[in-house]
């Protein structure tokens, strides 16, 4: 038997979770896997999660941690692979993960979106998490810090560095891209 309350939760929040996962991972397939893993973890503790004030915030926290932990694990695998060479099946898997994968989709068809996606990819996972939580979910610095399990100062610093990096990446590309829209164009106050 399916738990109707959990089904309702999934139905109500899957879109939001997928959006978050997509912006955090910059890849549709990876986002789907991340959300699936996130929902599996929520399901395991559903009785306790259900009793929380904001189950969706708990799910979002799991998702963000999955992304950050996943990047760390990937880095570790890369280091191990460099040390040992690709001789085992696990190393083969790690080898695949080392390849920069960019899915081609409708998103890439619009240059401005592709540019932003590309810029987001170049941020560190924590910087990207702060950017997405602050500017997509409109969380305050304190809420973002609570969700990430770090201090407000770290959120401020990561956010500022992330924004600066985004500007550095996007501005030169915009200069080379004729006729682009004004998304993320810095310094043009009315």
All residues at 6 or more sequence positions from 158 whose CB lies less than 8 Å from its CB, including other chains? 124, 126, 127, 129, 130
List Cβ<8 Å contacts ≥24 apart for 107-116. 111/177, 111/180, 112/180, 112/181, 112/183, 115/170, 115/173, 115/174, 115/177, 115/180, 116/170, 116/183, 116/184
In the bound state with other proteins, the residue whose beta carbon lies nearer, of 54 and 93, is 93
d(CA 160, CA 167): 11
Residues 68-127 that bind other proteins (CB under 8 A): 73, 87-90, 92-93, 95-97, 99-101, 103, 105-107, 110, 112-113, 116-117
Residues 144-163 that bind other proteins (CB under 8 A): 163
What is the nearest approach in angstroms of other proteins to the Cβ of residue 59? 11
Residues of the shown chain interacting with other proteins in the complex, contacts defined by CB under 8 A: 1-3, 6-7, 10-11, 14-15, 18-19, 22-23, 27-33, 35-36, 39-40, 42-44, 46, 73, 87-90, 92-93, 95-97, 99-101, 103, 105-107, 110, 112-113, 116-117, 131-132, 135-136, 138, 163, 166-167, 182-189
């Amino acid at each position: 038997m399916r738990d109707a309350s959990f089904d309702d939760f999934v139905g109500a929040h899957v879109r939001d979770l997928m959006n978050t996962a997509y912006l955090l991972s910059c890849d549709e397939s990876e986002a789907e896997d991340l959300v699936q893993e996130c929902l599996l973890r929520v399901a395991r503790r559903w009785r306790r999660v259900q009793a929380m004030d904001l189950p969706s915030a708990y799910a979002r926290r799991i998702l963000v941690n999955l992304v950050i932990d996943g990047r760390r694990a990937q880095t570790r695998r890369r280091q191990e692979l460099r040390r040992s060479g690709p001789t085992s099946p696990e190393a083969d898997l790690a080898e695949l993960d080392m390849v920069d994968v960019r899915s081609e989709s409708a998103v890439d068809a619009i240059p401005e979106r592709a540019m932003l996606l590309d810029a987001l990819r170049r941020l560190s996972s924590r910087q990207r998490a702060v950017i997405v939580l602050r500017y997509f979910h409109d969380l305050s610095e304190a809420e973002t810090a609570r969700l990430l399990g770090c201090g407000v100062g770290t959120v401020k610093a990561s956010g500022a560095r992330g924004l600066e990096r985004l500007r550095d990446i996007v501005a030169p590309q915009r200069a080379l891209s004729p006729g682009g829209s004004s998304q993320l164009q810095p310094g043009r106050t009315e």
